Amino acid sequence: MRAAVFIALFDFLALGALGVFFPYFSMYLHSTVGLSATQTGLVFAITPATGMLAHPLWGQLADRSGSRTRVLALVSFGAAAGFVLLGQLDGFLPLALGTAVMALFMTAVIPLAVSITLATVQDLGPHAYGLVRVWGTMGFLVTVVAFPRLLASSGAEPDDLSLMMPATALLFASAGLVALALPRGKTVSARAERRDYRLLLSEPSFLRMLLFILLAYLFLQGPMSLFPLFVESLGGGVNMVSDMWVIMLLLELPLVAMIGMVQQKVGARGLLAIGLLSGSARWLVSAWATDLSIVYAAQLLHGVTVMGLILGAPLYVDAVVPARLRSTAQGVLAMAGVSLGGVLSNLMTGWMSDALGPRTPALAGGVGALLLALAMSRLLPPLPGSGPSHDGRGKNNGLANRGARTSELPQPEQSVEAGI
């Protein structure tokens, strides 16, 4: 239980840092620095592009060393230093390079935290993961609301978001200190052998999930990244973006806390379907709406997408990988979705926003997500031998079993653990 409390505090601070950075970074680039929408999309694409290298690199380091909490502290401190650097830069090329340095560390924070959380709370019941992870959503909510008020109290101009960088750095540094205090039990410290990663490449369920998550992020990430520009096109500013994030998080808080109960009812694949359909509906409604109140209401679906897709995918993956490969698997999942899917999506939506108008990315993303949901039964079949109450949670699925039989298994105290 002590470990769960520390992880909840880490999530609060790390997601709080993202609550300062993510909702406003495109506005910072566009309004404070003066980049075009296309340049903004390119800089946004650098973060997930760098993550393609960072995710498997840090995941393998964590799994091979068994020092997952120390690696988590390292990438948190590295992210803090990256944001300090980024705040000193100006112009497209310097900002692009500085973003790459920052992203080398920052993109690894959440996948590593997820793998440590799943390992730590697996014996605390089916609801433990949601009850811990909800504190991350709370941290995001607190900072996304507080940051505009911090700007106003500082006397900064409405389009001057320079305080974003030091505030984000401070929160990541604080999260790093908490990571150093995380308890390191046997499950968290299980070590992978040199060639264990090959198990991941031989499991159809895992490989299909990688393709699925790549397509999901391709359709949904870009509209989210450039959402502030869409709000600006409707006459809004930083305060309106903050207010809409509050709307997004209102439903996310209880849904994340209840994810264990929902998963028991519909299974991991059901969670993914719910998340994908809600993301599609959100962007289709936003794209066609002419009234800001309708756009506000549509943002409630963000919480459903987070519960179903953003949290459902790691749960699905955790069910089919050995404990000693948790960090690598979550890193590769993030590489396929957040990184590769995010790169393609940000580039595509940046171009569409400039060439076809700010509504076009939302419309394209909504239609694409709907088509992917219709194809989901063929692309991502249920896990073998699992019904709704077990899908995405059972330990008898393919890769976990094959990992249990491999001759390269660690000693008994490091054996494969069940998912949460």
Q: What is the 3-state secondary structure (H, E, C) of 75-107?
A: HHHHHHHHHHHHCCCCCHHHHHHHHHHHHHHHH
* Residue 68: pLDDT over 90: no
Token pair 């340049």: residue:
39
* Residue 160: pLDDT over 70: yes
Asked if residue 192 belongs to a domain, the reply is no
Q: What is the rounded distance in angstroms from the CA atom of residue 66 to the CA atom of residue 63? A: 5
For residue 343, the model assigns a pLDDT of 81
* Residue 170: pLDDT over 90: yes
Asked if residue 189 belongs to a domain, the reply is no
Helix (H, G, I), strand (E, B) or coil at 186: coil
pLDDT band at 125 (very low <50, low <70, confident <90, very high): confident
Nearest by Cα to 338 from 170, 225, 228, 198:
225
Whether residue 213 contacts residue 341, with contact meaning beta carbons closer than 8 Å, is answered with yes
* CATH code, 294: 1.20.1250.20
Whether residue 221 contacts residue 348, with contact meaning beta carbons closer than 8 Å, is answered with no
Q: What percent of the chain has pLDDT over 70?
A: 85
Q: What is the rounded distance in angstroms from the CA atom of residue 157 to the CA atom of residue 372? A: 43
Domain of 260, in residue numbers? 2-182+200-405
Whether residue 307 contacts residue 275, with contact meaning beta carbons closer than 8 Å, is answered with yes
Say which range, 140-149, 294-303, 408-417, has the weakest mean pLDDT.
Answer: 408-417
Asked if residue 344 belongs to a domain, the reply is yes
Mean pLDDT, rounded, for 343-362: 80
* Residue 318: pLDDT over 90: no
Mean pLDDT, rounded, for 175-194: 73
For residue 105, the model assigns a pLDDT of 96
For residue 13, the model assigns a pLDDT of 96
Asked if residue 53 belongs to a domain, the reply is yes
For residue 360, the model assigns a pLDDT of 84
pLDDT tens, residue by residue, 7-46: 999 999 999 999 999 878 877 888 888 888 778 878 877 8
Phi, psi of 67 (to 5 degrees): -95, 60
Q: What is the rounded distance in angstroms from the CA atom of residue 269 to the CA atom of residue 13? A: 30
pLDDT band at 352 (very low <50, low <70, confident <90, very high): confident
Asked if residue 138 belongs to a domain, the reply is yes
For the record, the structure tokens of 155 come out as 């006397």
* Residue 419: pLDDT over 50: no
pTM of the model: 0.74
Whether residue 359 contacts residue 230, with contact meaning beta carbons closer than 8 Å, is answered with yes
* Residue 353: pLDDT over 60: yes
Mean pLDDT, rounded, for 246-260: 82
- The mean of the pLDDT values for the chain is 80
Pick the more confident residue, 4 or 412.
Answer: 4
For residue 44, the model assigns a pLDDT of 75
The count of structural domains within the chain is: 1
Q: What is the rounded distance in angstroms from the CA atom of residue 80 to the CA atom of residue 74? A: 10
* Residue 409: pLDDT over 60: no
Q: At what angle do helices 259-288 and 312-319 cross, to 10 degrees?
A: 140
Whether residue 79 contacts residue 356, with contact meaning beta carbons closer than 8 Å, is answered with no
Residue 20 DSSP one-character state:
H
For residue 344, the model assigns a pLDDT of 86
Mean pLDDT, rounded, for 345-352: 80
Q: What is the rounded distance in angstroms from the CA atom of residue 43 to the CA atom of residue 35? A: 9
For residue 415, the model assigns a pLDDT of 28
Say which range, 13-17, 64-68, 319-323, has the weakest mean pLDDT.
Answer: 319-323
Q: What percent of the chain has pLDDT over 90?
A: 25
For residue 35, the model assigns a pLDDT of 85
For residue 143, the model assigns a pLDDT of 92
Helix (H, G, I), strand (E, B) or coil at 238: helix
